[in-house]
Structure 1
Amino acid sequence: MTRDPMPNAFIPGQGALGPVEAAMVDRRQRLLGPAYRLFYETPVHLVRGQGVWLYDPEGNAYLDTYNNVASVGHAHPRVVAAMAEQAATLATHTRYLHDGVLAYAERLLAHFPAPLSHVMFTCTGSEANDLALRLARAATGGTGVIVTHNAYHGVTASVAECSPSLGPGVPLGPHVRAIPAPDARQGDPAALFAAHVQAAIDDLLRHGIRPALLMVDTVFSSDGLFTDPPGFLAPAAAAIRAAGGLFLADEVQPGFGRTGAAMWGFARHGVIPDMVSLGKPMGNGYPVAGLVIRPEVIAEFGSKARYFNTFGGNAVAAATAMAVLSVIEDEGLLQNAARTGAMFRAGLESLARDHEALGDIRAAGLFLAADIVTDGRPDRDRAARLVNALREARILISATGPLGHTLKIRPPLVFTEDNAVLFLDRLATILKRGL
């Protein structure tokens, strides 16, 4: 095990932007425009990454407990080697015969239930979800889409209309209905969520819109992380199918072993989706993603249209993604997510018993959420102060949920129990100081 580069003593961050970083912020605003956002009150200037660590120009190490895209750790040597070797040999698309993409497709599909037997490759999760919308419309003849209130499914024009978390500047499409996420604190999540899906179906039909797709992140990460009890998604999937629509499991965030219970978040619910979208964790951040599909779903689309993506599924993407799968399997990262995640959750729950700022703790493997509260009520400002205080302690996380009061913790899958102890120690120190 590589020794943690951060010593045990509490170390504050810079506290204020240096002249180089201040100039970079000004330059960024001038060049990239007003729509881009930076994390933290004092933005972090990063120059390299390794494993669970990110480094600034002075060599200071930051513990990364946020970036799930680097699923098997930043700059994993086996992934980098596979990427470089293939890039030095051949980099071309899927309209030529090449064994790499076929070998990867076979290996990837072996991790899915047998009915999910086709895969189409894209560059991003946004593209995968955009493609899913096209297939659903062709297969069902409908256009209606159901998502949750604070869902995020991507940034193409079609999926941005299905992503309420992007804010009021990106309004939902007239064919989209948003429903509450399945929060077990509100009652039986299986019954409640299915009832909300049915109500959305009924409303679509009242407006002459045929339902096409129920689209959910299977851990509801942007809604605040709702994972328990396992099995609650099955009635909702049955409801949309009874209405002639399809069920899409968005696995961009929970997929590839993140939950610790299985490779895919939907597996915890005993339901087989009609489509499963995958994102850049597939390639440890390399732009490779995909859509796994039941053959009958693509039959209508495939008979009338061709699919082509210049970069999706190219030879370098296939080699990189294959290396990621090998690392997950060979290094036991699914098991690590279960073991380390359980220890991490227990540590957060222990802290919550001593600090009123920590409310409900929710988790599935190495995906954890902690509500930040004051007098038991959601406190967005306090959550922001805590996120920034952790950044000053060189721990990187973010906040999520419709009220912005939920800490979002999803480190690379190589995160260890020692890393979790370090996080908990820093968090305890900050909480004792008060917020």
Structure 2
Amino acid sequence: MQEHRSDQFQVNNGLDMSKEIFSKDETLSMRRKLIGQSIKLFYSDNPVKIVRGRGQYLYDEKDVRYLDCISNVHHVGHCHPDVTRAATAQMELLNTNSRFLHDNIISYANRLSATLPDKLSVFYFVNSGSEANDLALRLAQQYTQHEDVIVLDHAYHGHLKSLIDISPYKFRKLSGQKEWVHVAPLPDIYRGLYREDHPNPGEAYADTVRDVIEDVHSKGRKISAFFCESLPSVGGQIILPQGYLTKVSEYVRSAGGVLVVDEVQTGFGRVGSHFWAFQMQGEACCPDIVTMGKPMGNGHPLACVVTTEQVAGAFAGTGVEYFNTFGGNPVSCAIGLAVLNVLEQEDMRGNATRVGAHLKDLLNKLQTKHQIVGDVRGVGLFLGLELVVDRELRTPATEVAAAVVKRLREERIFVSTDGPFESVIKFKPPMCFSIADADLVAQKIDHVLTDMPVVIP
């Protein structure tokens, strides 16, 4: 049957499927025939064919090198040799169902626990951030015996149906808002309800969550969880105002709910100063459930949920077994351990702090030079550059942002946009990003903005 399919491919497409490498046009043609059209490519009008990577660089089929500012999945760098060696060694020894007893999963959970508050001590390993967030939703609803969830506007938590239901970024384009999902304002001090001139934006935005809870109670419903990213990414590289999560957790717990923090984008030292971004809110902020994913496996599918003994006990008390065939398998955990080793040995948190501060300083200088730069925000290697047509009105410059992304690709730098208006150029590069890389990025952005036609009235 397989030989027949191969023959059919050769006849239908005029390609020799036994070839190891296709031309870019052949690859694109085959992709259009075989891969779902809703699975979009970067630079879809003229995609880049990438054949190898190393560190913060990607290389196309002609061996042209690109600086990667967006692959936060490849946390310690593309194809880090220590990670690939760990994967190969364990794969040659054993990879099997996670329901067999094995040391790697215990060793990895123990290493992760050292980075977290003491009460977060029970781990569930899965394969993706979406799986992790789906499980976190189940844990919260089982523990509280309530269904309703509060989320932030413009949030995105994954591609499973359960997560589309709690992701305004998605459900507003699809099935609409479910009656058990409630949306609180995004705490964006640049263009939100309360801005940088407010005396206490953290408390003010937290009070909007309190108002949502009161509205939910008035309808005879109960809250299971407040579910949020520790630094909203799709929302536009937002830094939560100080004190926000601590105050929100008080309101949510008083209402019988739990605090679920999504660290899929920002965990593992990306912010530099802390291992987890929620820790930026202070020691008083301790979630009940934390989800993690993308950077854990440096490109290998590895994700996790960590929670308290109380929440885990309620989940176990259902009498229904939970297992994940591949989550936490020996190879995945060997890779996860290698990533933690590299983070420590190469001081990547320190690098994120130093290089991130340098890049932010360079972007701030661009703001003083170019009127179209409305805001610079972020921390560590999680930064955003918001473009606006009018600084006073803060009108998003969506088309210009898209043009900048396209022009930077021509300069062999990969960036992308985010935010409700796709007007924020985001930077989430591998953690090995250097001072020289930051200098190059700022120089090229300056060049691109200087060359563009004047768009400010």
> Shorter-normalised TM-score: what interval?
over 0.9
Is 1:62 the counterpart of 2:62? The answer is no
Measured after TM superposition, the shift of residue 199 of structure 1 is 2.2
Partner of 1:32: 35
Measured in 2, the distance between the counterparts of 1:58 and 1:208 equals 62
Task: Tell whether the 8 Å contact from 2:231 to 2:237 is kept in structure 1 after alignment.
Answer: yes
CA displacement 1:123-160 (0-9 Å, x = unmatched): 00100110011111111011111111111101111111
Larger Rg: 2
Task: Tell whether the 8 Å contact from 2:377 to 2:383 is kept in structure 1 after alignment.
Answer: yes
Measured after TM superposition, the shift of residue 42 of structure 1 is 2.2
Measured in 1, the distance between the counterparts of 2:75 and 2:418 equals 19
Measured after TM superposition, the shift of residue 222 of structure 1 is 1.2
Measured in 1, the distance between the counterparts of 2:220 and 2:407 equals 50
Is 1:183 the counterpart of 2:188? The answer is yes
Give the CA RMSD over aligned residues.
Answer: 1.5
Measured in 2, the distance between the counterparts of 1:189 and 1:23 equals 53
Partner of 1:203: 215
The counterpart of 1:268, out of the listed 264, 277, 280, is: 280
Measured after TM superposition, the shift of residue 44 of structure 1 is 1.2
Task: Tell whether the 8 Å contact from 2:128 to 2:293 is kept in structure 1 after alignment.
Answer: yes
SS at match of 1:177: strand
SS at match of 1:55: strand
Measured after TM superposition, the shift of residue 225 of structure 1 is 1.8
Measured in 2, the distance between the counterparts of 1:296 and 1:217 equals 22
Partner of 1:382: 400
Task: Tell whether the 8 Å contact from 2:187 to 2:241 is kept in structure 1 after alignment.
Answer: no
Task: Tell whether the 8 Å contact from 1:144 to 1:209 is kept in structure 2 after alignment.
Answer: yes
Partner of 1:298: 312
Measured in 2, the distance between the counterparts of 1:175 and 1:20 equals 49
Partner of 1:354: 369
Task: Tell whether the 8 Å contact from 2:133 to 2:157 is kept in structure 1 after alignment.
Answer: yes
CA displacement 1:279-307 (0-9 Å, x = unmatched): 03111111110001111111111122221
Measured after TM superposition, the shift of residue 310 of structure 1 is 0.5
Task: Tell whether the 8 Å contact from 1:51 to 1:74 is kept in structure 2 after alignment.
Answer: yes
* 2:211 aligned partner, one-letter code: A
CA displacement 1:394-423 (0-9 Å, x = unmatched): 111111111111111100011111111111
Match runs of 1:64-213 below 5 Å: 64-166=68-170, 167-185=172-190, 186=194, 187=198, 188-213=200-225
Partner of 1:395: 413
The counterpart of 1:251, out of the listed 247, 263, 268, is: 263
Is 1:285 the counterpart of 2:299? The answer is yes
Measured after TM superposition, the shift of residue 190 of structure 1 is 1.3
Is 1:433 the counterpart of 2:451? The answer is yes
Is 1:406 the counterpart of 2:434? The answer is no
Q: TM-score, normalised by structure 1?
A: 0.93
Measured in 2, the distance between the counterparts of 1:172 and 1:370 equals 30
Measured in 2, the distance between the counterparts of 1:403 and 1:170 equals 21
Measured in 2, the distance between the counterparts of 1:147 and 1:344 equals 31
Task: Tell whether the 8 Å contact from 1:163 to 1:172 is kept in structure 2 after alignment.
Answer: no
Measured in 1, the distance between the counterparts of 2:244 and 2:359 equals 24
Is 1:219 the counterpart of 2:243? The answer is no
SS at match of 1:247: strand
Measured after TM superposition, the shift of residue 23 of structure 1 is 4.4
SS at match of 1:212: strand
Task: Tell whether the 8 Å contact from 1:79 to 1:324 is kept in structure 2 after alignment.
Answer: yes
Is 1:241 the counterpart of 2:253? The answer is yes
SS at match of 2:344: helix
Measured after TM superposition, the shift of residue 184 of structure 1 is 2.2
Unaligned runs of 5+ in 2: 1-21
Partner of 2:442: 424
Measured in 1, the distance between the counterparts of 2:429 and 2:91 equals 28
Measured after TM superposition, the shift of residue 209 of structure 1 is 2.6
Measured in 1, the distance between the counterparts of 2:350 and 2:148 equals 38
CA displacement 1:363-420 (0-9 Å, x = unmatched): 1100000101112221111111111111111111111111111111100011111111
Task: Tell whether the 8 Å contact from 1:383 to 1:406 is kept in structure 2 after alignment.
Answer: yes
* 2:32 aligned partner, one-letter code: Q
SS at match of 1:88: helix
The counterpart of 1:325, out of the listed 319, 340, 351, is: 340
CA displacement 1:335-372 (0-9 Å, x = unmatched): 11111100000000001110112110001100000101
CA displacement 1:200-259 (0-9 Å, x = unmatched): 222322333311011111111111122154332211111111110000110011100001
Partner of 2:48: 44
* 2:182 aligned partner, one-letter code: R
SS at match of 1:184: coil
Q: 1:358 to 1:22 in 2, by over 3 A?
A: farther
